[in-house]
Structure 1
Amino acid sequence: MLNPIILKLLIKYTQNIDEPQWHGYLYVVVIVMINILTTIINAHYNHCIYKLGINIKICLMSALYRKSLVLSTNNETSVGQIVNLMSIDSQRVLIFLPFMSFLWSTPVQLILAMYLLYNEFGISVLAGVAAIALIYPMNILFIIYARMRQFKQMILKDQRMKIINDILNGIKVVKFYAWEMAFNKLIINIRNKEIRHLNVFSNLLNILQLPLESLPKMFNQLILVNVALNRMNKFFDLKEINPYVCREDSRLIVSIDNGDFSWDKTTDNTSFSLKHINLKISDGMFVAIIGNVGSGKSSLLSALLGEMEIMSGNVNIRKGARIAYVSQQAWIQNMTLKNNILFGKKFKPKLYEKVLHDCALIKDLQLFPGGDETEIGENGVNLSGGQKQRVNLARAVYSGSDIYIMDDPLSAVDSHVGQYIMTNIFDSKSGILRNKTRILVTNQLFVLPNVDLIVVLKDGKISSMGAYKQLLNNDNDFADLIKQYTSVDTNNNEDNDNNILLIIMKFLALNTIRQFGLRASKQVHKTLLSTILSAPMSFFDTQPIGRILNRFSRDFDV
């Protein structure tokens, strides 16, 4: 605002030959200094505001991630929606922050500008004031309508990302049945609907740019951040799992008293539930949980971890006791085999070598081209089923926890490997975990004589509990279960193909910066989708799904 005033004085100086010459130099120096000072202040402001924005974005992403971990099982939330919330909506909050100052600075600038114009042109400036007075109500109507369009567009974007995520997770089935074109058509149809909403939204913004320059930009970002905040608030309001696991000092390290659990607390007898669960485990006990398929073995472990809904009863795990969980489906990260085992823990050479030996990984390391520094693909794509489970188990053993909760880790390994792991890891006399509390879900009969307590589940209830010989002699359910297991071959063969296929391919990325606008976005999305669906399986074996999803979410946020 100072520049026009100084410029006016400079013009008067050029018209007044009696004014001292140094006034002209002074006016020029003042104009230059004002521009330099304005640039410095704006640069400092942008630096501070973007630094604040990055901190806010990180906090939002962390909060969204933590929320996703405690969501109740009956919430209808897709992976695509969570990806969009973390990558797009949180970014829009960051982008909006520099425009916040427009909320107060623009009206002040308008008032000052009108005052200066009034001094120059007099009463005729009221015509401009009247035009702005008419423009603001129109802006409000456009904002309301554009916000509705933006909200519908984000719903379509969530649907599109959910379908893409499902395709990537089941890409082998898609390619096996040659469903690429069908899914391609489905996604393109959703994208076209999304583009139609985006077209209307963009046209409205163009109308806003006619009267003023800064206000439409601020209104644009205000609409986007408003939709983003509403979506995040809706996500944060979703029902969470009630934290029911107590961590109190107790003589027992794990205990469940009269526990009733369900996967969905709101339904009436429509979801699987555990009833009348009473379980008491002391320090160092080796507990085996057995039962038929669907009897509730994995659900009982989930109840101990606090992942089910508790209907009644109490669950307590001793305060300070560290828990290691080995899932039935091995969880492998896209990093080296060594880092998969260490999992952020400090490297201890002796313990590390001991864990590799006891988990029967020494021979496998000799077959890997890089030993334990071999890069493991996402979901352990270059490992066999047995190797993935043994790496999963090695991570838990290396953690040095107090309680080990294991969901049938021996099902994916050969019988002789299972015997080796039983002797070197689980056994109460010779195993590396002999002094730890072990809770093992298993259908392997050779394990049962070596455990301290056997828990037999039937239809979500504990039908019997005791030592091996005691149950074998006195319990009909246990004896029937043993007969059932011995009548069929329950051994699962481990994939012995240790030839590791490491295919490094170069994927030509599309040049998405060739043009801007909705037409470019539509064409690039169509081409990218077609390329991804037609890519060979080796591409999906080496590329993380999250990386591909980001290409379809944040990179296409027009």
Structure 2
Amino acid sequence: MTALLQTDSASLVSPVNETKQPRYSTFPSASDNVDQTKQRLHDAQLTPGTAPLWSRLFFSYANPMMSAGNTRQLNNEDLWELEGENRSAAAFDEFVEHFERHDKSIIKAMVAAYGGRFLLCGLAMLFTTACNVFAPAVLNHVITVFAEPQIDMYNLSAWLGVFFASRIVNAVVATHMRFYLELIALRLTVTLKALLFRKAMRRSIQSKGDAKAVDISNLYSSDVNNVLFAAFQINSLWIIPIQIVVVVYMLYAVIDMAAFAGLAVIALFMLASFIIAKLSGSTFEDIMKHKDERMKTIKEVFNAIQIVKLNAWEDKFADKIHKLRATELSAVKRFMYLGALNIFVLWGSPLAVSTVSFAVYGITMGKVLTAAKVFTAIALFNALRDPLRDLPTVIQTCIQAKISINRFSDYLSLDEFQPTNVTRDDSSQPEDVVMAIEDGTFGWTKDTALLSKVNLTIKRGDLVIVHGSVGSGKSSLCSALLGEMDKLAGSVFVRDRVAYYSQQTWIQNMTIRDNILFGLPYDKEKYSRVIAACGLLPDLRQFPGGDSTEIGQKGVNLSGGQKARVCLARACYSDADILLLDSPLAAVDAIVQSQIFGECICNLLAEKTVVLVTHSADIIASEAANMKVLVEDGKLTATRHHVAMPRLSYTLAVSLRSAHGDDSHDGENQPVKDIDVGRLIDDEEREEGRVSKEVFSNYFESLGGMKVCIFLFVVQTLWQVCQIGSDLWLSHWTGQKDGSYNPDETAYNVKVYAWLGAGTAIMVLVRTATVAVVGLRASRHLFDNMTLSLLKAPLRFFDANPIGRIVNRYGDDMSAVDFMIPFAYGSFLAMFFFTVCQLATAVYTMNFLGALIIPLVWMYVKIANFYLAPSREISRLWKVSSSPVLSHVEQSEEGVVVIRAFGLDTVGRMINENFIRNDVNSRCWFSETVTQQWFQVRMQLIGSGVIFVVVSGLVYLRDYLSPGLVGLAFTYALSVDGGLASLVQCWSWCGCLAPVTGDTADCNRAVIAAAFSCQ
């Protein structure tokens, strides 16, 4: 019989190295061309470590991949391999050494591992800041020279030459500083994720009820991102104050004591920003707590979606999720309003500072405001705007990171599994004893014993039957033998390797074969014996893909009996010396039970030590057992029996009571439907090419449609009217070369400038508040629609979509919808108006010479288009590669007891798998970083060309322009190059974030498709 089953099994087992070969053709196919293109890309691709210096300097080694991204869709194979410390395992080993050495303090370990590198990046940042501050000094000198009757061209050329050189060097240094900051952040991110995963493999089962326990999905996504954002901005904590001090000193040199009046205003605004940042920090902490509660409920609901649908609880849980989401959104609303108020303060502060300073200088001090003084002061105030805007954000980001690090520390401080609960080497034990408990007392808490005074000795080759009433402590005995329970007294000895079958079956989202192999090499003969002995042959016949059929999340496409037999096969294939089987036959009928007991327990495992927990009266009565253990009220009664014949000689007789008394699963003989040749879960889809108009239009409809767009357009127009109007007023005010002004006219000019500045700040407040309101509306709409669609989805949808993918939609994606997307679109709209209006003003000032800027703008557009296509592709690859990481973490955390039971090698393999998945994700991150800096360095170099054209035009038209117009054009030229780069970057962010809103809508469409496929 066994030989027959083994022979039959060969036809149901897919070849281990089976690959699909293409049909032969005499004509080259499109796929052949794509493969050839990929091969050429692979051959031509350089890495940062192998590229020549010139190529590394300007990131030119990215050109082949950028070109490929503009001709076809990029795949993971097109991206650079990670090198050295950028690999997860290498970065983790470096960090964990410092982590253990510094009392397991994350902050101390970060300082020890990356402090020096952060400092070097900080020095580079200080250099770039000095270059930016140098620009107002050049502006002051240029306007002063223009105001003189005779222009000293030699002196002017020397200043401008040094200035252009500093801009070029600044472009290279700034991009490389950002590149290496990204590398540090990459290593820190994978390190923190690896640290969390290692803890998940170590934490005790009891710690899951700890009040400090937080959701690992949130730690893996939102909290890691918070630390990441702080890492990017940590140097700003000390550079921004230095920059403020230097700029204030330069202001003092320009407008004398009036600078201190501006400094007083700065102090007031900084105080307001600090208060806002502190309120935002506490609000963000509330958001994270509410999000934890929501994510916990969502995971519970979708992990038990079969039960929810069986009991028609969809509406009940929809209401529960809606209430949790409403509580979270109330905190999000406060956070968004505080953000809008903060942006108002940041935009209003330079305007208020300049107004107060000019009023004090021109009215109180009675001094003449010249074009050189005004526009130099304006440039310095603009130089103050960024640090004043960034400092509260940096503080807020660091507060959020500190909150997240505290959450990390809480998770990492949870109680761990204690391997010392089980002794592996005890010379006092006889050689034939493989498991023993002496005077053992065990409990799930230190103060409550569930098993008391346990004494048990199991010899090599024993078949031990453990039985007892429900809740008597049979599973607790298995946990005690594994060391999972707290050992309150006594000792536990386990000599050999253990394979464990958990009462709660644990199935991974992979094929049946991969679940059975569990990381071990494929042995065809051994594998065939195992699946035959475990009664899996009839089940494999039902699957179109045989053992290559993919199992859904938590085994949703398998019946209870099928899951039980797959898990049993996994334990048998492990070839462990001891098999600890907790009720593996409870989910099968009596006939299958008889077959498995005879073929598997008594035959396949005849030479093994087997501890079998069961309720079956037939098995309990079997004479094959060497020992029978009765568990009653936490007490054990062990009785050893003499076995007359070898175990493989025994079979199990099926009594009438057993045949009708045990649970039977009709699903045993039901075929699994809609399996596409064994593949159940499809790869997560990603968009190709440009983001579809449908994605943008759907999101804008959620925002409020055309009415909101028109309103924001009007607000933005009024903002730029006030902004440029105030600058033009300054140009008119200081336009006379003789500088003769009377006090009344000065007071009037300051008053007009103040009103225009106030109008600018008010329009900024209206814009940001509107973006916050409509963004929350869209977020609520998308969340509710997605939740209702998912809860109403057929079970087939959940078969094809792992829980990690769904959790990713509710985690990172909803965070992006809540916070990042509204302000990304708002920032793009603001940068578009700001840049276009300032560029148009600069061109208008230069008259006919403004046409010289057109080629440079054309180059901007070409480079931006060349950059956006591969950038979108890599961003999508990064997003798609994030879900498998989260799915693996959640699956591993759920099956941690089984993983630990199989030994340290299995734990190490799961950790290595986590490294591999993180590396796939990190490859996308690294490639995205390279392409971003490739773009940035070119944008800044062309920006230097724009400044050169503008200044050259101003020199050529020196006889026709007033010092005021020269100052206005030069000031705008300084901001236009950064504005154009920021505009493209904002559009890139919008393009990368837009699919997130599409993904929530895709959930709805996928649900509809799944519903039709089930009809």
Matched, 1:169 2:329: no
Matched, 1:2 2:183: no
Matched, 1:219 2:395: yes
- Provide the C-alpha distance between the structure 1 equivalents of 2:546 and 2:213, rounded to a whole number of angstroms: 34
Structure 1 equivalent of residue 600 of structure 2 = 425
- Residue 326 of structure 1 and its aligned partner are, at CA, apart by 0.9
When structure 1 is superposed on structure 2, of 187-196 and 167-176 the one drifting more is 167-176
- Provide the C-alpha distance between the structure 2 equivalents of 1:412 and 1:522, rounded to a whole number of angstroms: 43
What letter corresponds to residue 158 of structure 1 in structure 2? D
When structure 1 is superposed on structure 2, of 143-152 and 113-122 the one drifting more is 143-152
Percent identity over the alignment is 34
- Which residue among 623, 638, 641 is the counterpart of 1:464? 638
- Residue 103 of structure 1 and its aligned partner are, at CA, apart by 0.4
- Provide the C-alpha distance between the structure 2 equivalents of 1:3 and 1:358, rounded to a whole number of angstroms: 80
Structure 1 equivalent of residue 750 of structure 2 = none
- Residue 107 of structure 1 and its aligned partner are, at CA, apart by 0.6
Does 1 or 2 have the higher relative contact order (CA < 8 Å, sep 6+)? 2
Structure 2 equivalent of residue 234 of structure 1 = 410
Partner of 2:604, secondary structure, is: coil
Residue 150 of structure 1 contacts residue 227 of structure 1 at CA under 8 Å; is this kept in 2? no
1:390-425 residue CA offsets vs partner (Å, 9 max, x unmatched): 111111222222221110112222333333323333
- Residue 525 of structure 1 and its aligned partner are, at CA, apart by 1.1
What letter corresponds to residue 547 of structure 1 in structure 2? R
Alignment: residue pair count: 536
- Provide the C-alpha distance between the structure 1 equivalents of 2:185 and 2:452, rounded to a whole number of angstroms: 49
Residue 323 of structure 1 contacts residue 404 of structure 1 at CA under 8 Å; is this kept in 2? yes
- Provide the C-alpha distance between the structure 1 equivalents of 2:161 and 2:529, rounded to a whole number of angstroms: 76
- Provide the C-alpha distance between the structure 2 equivalents of 1:72 and 1:382, rounded to a whole number of angstroms: 27
Structure 2 equivalent of residue 400 of structure 1 = 575
Residue 384 of structure 1 contacts residue 497 of structure 1 at CA under 8 Å; is this kept in 2? no
1:442-482 residue CA offsets vs partner (Å, 9 max, x unmatched): 23344431122222211111123211689xxxxxxxxxxxx
- Provide the C-alpha distance between the structure 1 equivalents of 2:264 and 2:473, rounded to a whole number of angstroms: 73
With over 3 angstroms needed to count, the CA separation of the structure-2 counterparts of 1:77 and 1:322, relative to structure 1, is farther
What letter corresponds to residue 446 of structure 2 in structure 1? K
1:296-307 correspondence runs (5 A): 296-307=473-484
Residue 80 of structure 1 contacts residue 161 of structure 1 at CA under 8 Å; is this kept in 2? no
- Which residue among 605, 609, 612 is the counterpart of 1:440? 612
Residue 618 of structure 2 contacts residue 658 of structure 2 at CA under 8 Å; is this kept in 1? no
- Which residue among 522, 536, 542 is the counterpart of 2:794? 536
Matched, 1:454 2:586: no
Residue 629 of structure 2 contacts residue 636 of structure 2 at CA under 8 Å; is this kept in 1? yes
Larger strand proportion of the pair: 1
What letter corresponds to residue 218 of structure 1 in structure 2? V
Larger helix proportion of the pair: 2
- Provide the C-alpha distance between the structure 1 equivalents of 2:780 and 2:230, rounded to a whole number of angstroms: 25
Partner of 2:215, secondary structure, is: helix
- Which residue among 179, 196, 209 is the counterpart of 2:313? 179
- Provide the C-alpha distance between the structure 1 equivalents of 2:488 and 2:330, rounded to a whole number of angstroms: 47
Residue 263 of structure 1 contacts residue 308 of structure 1 at CA under 8 Å; is this kept in 2? yes
Residue 384 of structure 1 contacts residue 498 of structure 1 at CA under 8 Å; is this kept in 2? no
- Normalised to the residue count of structure 2, the TM-score between the two structures is 0.49
- Provide the C-alpha distance between the structure 1 equivalents of 2:214 and 2:308, rounded to a whole number of angstroms: 19
- Provide the C-alpha distance between the structure 2 equivalents of 1:499 and 1:174, rounded to a whole number of angstroms: 23
- Residue 501 of structure 1 and its aligned partner are, at CA, apart by 1.4
- 5+ residue gaps in structure 2? 1-132, 350-387, 645-654, 687-693, 704-770, 820-1015
Structure 2 equivalent of residue 309 of structure 1 = 486
- Provide the C-alpha distance between the structure 1 equivalents of 2:656 and 2:275, rounded to a whole number of angstroms: 70
- Which residue among 143, 165, 168 is the counterpart of 1:33? 165
What letter corresponds to residue 296 of structure 1 in structure 2? G
- Residue 385 of structure 1 and its aligned partner are, at CA, apart by 2.1
- Provide the C-alpha distance between the structure 2 equivalents of 1:20 and 1:369, rounded to a whole number of angstroms: 86
Structure 2 equivalent of residue 479 of structure 1 = none
Partner of 2:639, secondary structure, is: strand
With over 3 angstroms needed to count, the CA separation of the structure-2 counterparts of 1:41 and 1:354, relative to structure 1, is farther
Matched, 1:283 2:460: yes
- Residue 12 of structure 1 and its aligned partner are, at CA, apart by 5.0
Structure 1 equivalent of residue 206 of structure 2 = 73
- Provide the C-alpha distance between the structure 1 equivalents of 2:472 and 2:642, rounded to a whole number of angstroms: 19
Matched, 1:520 2:692: no
What letter corresponds to residue 197 of structure 2 in structure 1? Y
CA RMSD, 1 decimal: 3.1
Residue 426 of structure 1 contacts residue 433 of structure 1 at CA under 8 Å; is this kept in 2? yes
1:490-542 residue CA offsets vs partner (Å, 9 max, x unmatched): 43334332311126899999958556732222221111112112222222233
- Residue 31 of structure 1 and its aligned partner are, at CA, apart by 3.1
- Which residue among 226, 231, 248 is the counterpart of 2:425? 248
Structure 1 equivalent of residue 825 of structure 2 = none
With over 3 angstroms needed to count, the CA separation of the structure-2 counterparts of 1:226 and 1:426, relative to structure 1, is same
Residue 453 of structure 1 contacts residue 466 of structure 1 at CA under 8 Å; is this kept in 2? yes
1:197-216 correspondence runs (5 A): 197-209=331-343, 210=345, 211=349, 212-216=388-392
Structure 1 equivalent of residue 446 of structure 2 = 265
- Residue 34 of structure 1 and its aligned partner are, at CA, apart by 2.5
With over 3 angstroms needed to count, the CA separation of the structure-2 counterparts of 1:324 and 1:176, relative to structure 1, is closer
- Provide the C-alpha distance between the structure 2 equivalents of 1:119 and 1:65, rounded to a whole number of angstroms: 56
Matched, 1:82 2:258: no
With over 3 angstroms needed to count, the CA separation of the structure-2 counterparts of 1:18 and 1:338, relative to structure 1, is same
1:148-193 residue CA offsets vs partner (Å, 9 max, x unmatched): 2222222221222222223223333433444333332332222222
When structure 1 is superposed on structure 2, of 288-297 and 177-186 the one drifting more is 177-186
- Provide the C-alpha distance between the structure 2 equivalents of 1:423 and 1:26, rounded to a whole number of angstroms: 95
- Provide the C-alpha distance between the structure 2 equivalents of 1:205 and 1:310, rounded to a whole number of angstroms: 52
- Provide the C-alpha distance between the structure 1 equivalents of 2:214 and 2:805, rounded to a whole number of angstroms: 13
- Which residue among 93, 100, 120 is the counterpart of 2:234? 100
- Which residue among 325, 333, 349 is the counterpart of 2:508? 333
Partner of 1:253, secondary structure, is: strand
Partner of 1:97, secondary structure, is: helix
- Which residue among 643, 653, 662 is the counterpart of 1:491? 662
- Residue 44 of structure 1 and its aligned partner are, at CA, apart by 2.2
Structure 2 equivalent of residue 501 of structure 1 = 673
1:297-334 residue CA offsets vs partner (Å, 9 max, x unmatched): 1110011112212211111222xx32211112321112
What letter corresponds to residue 606 of structure 2 in structure 1? R
- Provide the C-alpha distance between the structure 1 equivalents of 2:217 and 2:780, rounded to a whole number of angstroms: 20
With over 3 angstroms needed to count, the CA separation of the structure-2 counterparts of 1:460 and 1:469, relative to structure 1, is farther
With over 3 angstroms needed to count, the CA separation of the structure-2 counterparts of 1:339 and 1:241, relative to structure 1, is closer
With over 3 angstroms needed to count, the CA separation of the structure-2 counterparts of 1:22 and 1:453, relative to structure 1, is farther
- 5+ residue gaps in structure 1? 471-483
1:353-411 residue CA offsets vs partner (Å, 9 max, x unmatched): 22222222233223211111112111222222222111111112222222211101122
Matched, 1:294 2:471: yes
- Which residue among 803, 807, 810 is the counterpart of 1:549? 807
Whichever of the two has the greater Rg, that structure is: 2
Partner of 2:451, secondary structure, is: strand
Residue 205 of structure 1 contacts residue 216 of structure 1 at CA under 8 Å; is this kept in 2? no
- Provide the C-alpha distance between the structure 2 equivalents of 1:465 and 1:32, rounded to a whole number of angstroms: 92
- Provide the C-alpha distance between the structure 2 equivalents of 1:96 and 1:380, rounded to a whole number of angstroms: 40
